[in-house]
Amino acid sequence: MNALTRKGGPLALPDWAWQRPEVRLALKTRDIGALLRSVQQYTGASQSRIAVAIGVLQGRVSEILRASRTVTTLELFERIADGLEMPDDARMLLGLAPQHPAGLDHLSASGRAEILAVYPSQSSARAEIEQRAHEATAVEILAVRGLGIIGMNDSLLRSRIRQRTTAVRVLLLDPDGEAAHRRADEIGETYGSFAAGIRLSIERLRDLATEGADIEAHVYDILPTWRLIGLDATLFLSAFGESHEGHTSPMYKLTGSPHGALHRGFHRFTEELRRTARRVV
């Protein structure tokens, strides 16, 4: 048995184990049961030893291994990552912020905590976005069509922005602009159907404004790159690519930091984009 499995404290996997396909898949899908089975395989650790490393009861480890209990809380994901001495690339696959971002090693943990979490896609971050939206007094959205965020009855934030206590600012791609034609070509859609989706979201925003919601919406005419959901001081950021939409790309959770540039930079970018955009609601 590996000496690391006979004592308390963190339980370290060999470096090569983090590169195994089944381990990376378990991290990406947040399948902690599969991850812990790999830990047993590559360290020889018992359930009790794993429990000590990650700070839970042995019975809970057993339940996770049997798939009768799932891990959903960020606090427990962090404890598992710390208990397994997870390297930064593995932490990011799991949706956690790296502990030593490149170029920021001279800062303390609080100084480099601008990136709080990384999610494989918007669907992975949905629960946290909905929870934060429930408490937010200000919502900022930068999107292309915005259908998955605000345009449909079951969209991510639609129920929240109906509340009159929430100030909502939205930036969507101009359906009549040159950039809309370029984006439609990029993703292989006809311009007519692509622009119709934007117009639908604008009409739904007008409906909410008529109902009394505090909504301001603008349309911009540059090729979309960033997709942003701001909930008070927390930003959820993803990117558009030539062949994929923003909700399918990795999503970063950002907050302000004394030494960080990203949070301030994206606020500045959206403010300037709004200044040059055309108001429609």
Tens of pLDDT along 83-97? 998 888 788 888 887
Q: What is the pLDDT of residues 104-145, one digit of tens each?
A: 444 444 444 577 788 887 788 888 888 888 888 888 989 998
Taking the C-alpha atoms of residue 181 and residue 195, their distance in angstroms, rounded to an integer, is: 8
Is residue 219 within 8 A of residue 177, CB to CB? The reply is yes
Provide the Cα torsion 30, 31, 32, 37; round to 10°: -140
- Pairing verdict, β 167-173 and 214-220: parallel
Question: What pLDDT was estimated at residue 38?
Answer: 93
Least confident segment among 10-14, 75-79, 109-113, 211-215? 109-113
Helix (H) / strand (E) element for 195: namely helix 191-210
Question: What pLDDT was estimated at residue 157?
Answer: 74
How many CB atoms are located within 10 Å of the residue 242 CB?
8
Q: What is the pLDDT of residues 231-267, one digit of tens each?
A: 888 899 888 877 667 677 888 888 877 666 788 888 8
pLDDT band of residue 180 (cuts 50, 70, 90) is very high
In order of start, what are the domains of the chain with their CATH numbers? 3-96 (1.10.260.40), 117-279 (3.30.870.10)
Taking only Cα atoms into account, the Rg of the chain, rounded to an integer number of angstroms, comes to: 22
Is residue 266 within 8 A of residue 254, CB to CB? The reply is yes
Q: What is the mean pLDDT of residues 167-186?
A: 93
Is residue 134 within 8 A of residue 159, CB to CB? The reply is no
Taking the C-alpha atoms of residue 118 and residue 8, their distance in angstroms, rounded to an integer, is: 29
Q: What is the pLDDT of residues 135-151, one digit of tens each?
A: 888 889 899 988 778 76
Taking the C-alpha atoms of residue 103 and residue 105, their distance in angstroms, rounded to an integer, is: 6
Q: Round the average pLDDT of the chain to a whole number and report it.
A: 83
Question: What pLDDT was estimated at residue 74?
Answer: 80
In the structure encoding, which two tokens stand for residue 117, read together?
């979490």
Q: DSSP per residue over 13-53, as a string?
A: PPGGGGGSHHHHHHHHTT-HHHHHHHHHHHH---HHHHHHH
Question: What pLDDT was estimated at residue 258?
Answer: 66
Percent of the chain's residues with pLDDT above 70: 85
Residue 274 pLDDT greater than 80, yes or no: yes
Q: Where are the beta strands (DSSP E) in the chain?
A: 115-119, 138-142, 167-173, 214-220, 226-231, 234-239, 251-254, 278-279
Question: What pLDDT was estimated at residue 6?
Answer: 40
Least confident segment among 40-49, 128-137, 272-281? 128-137
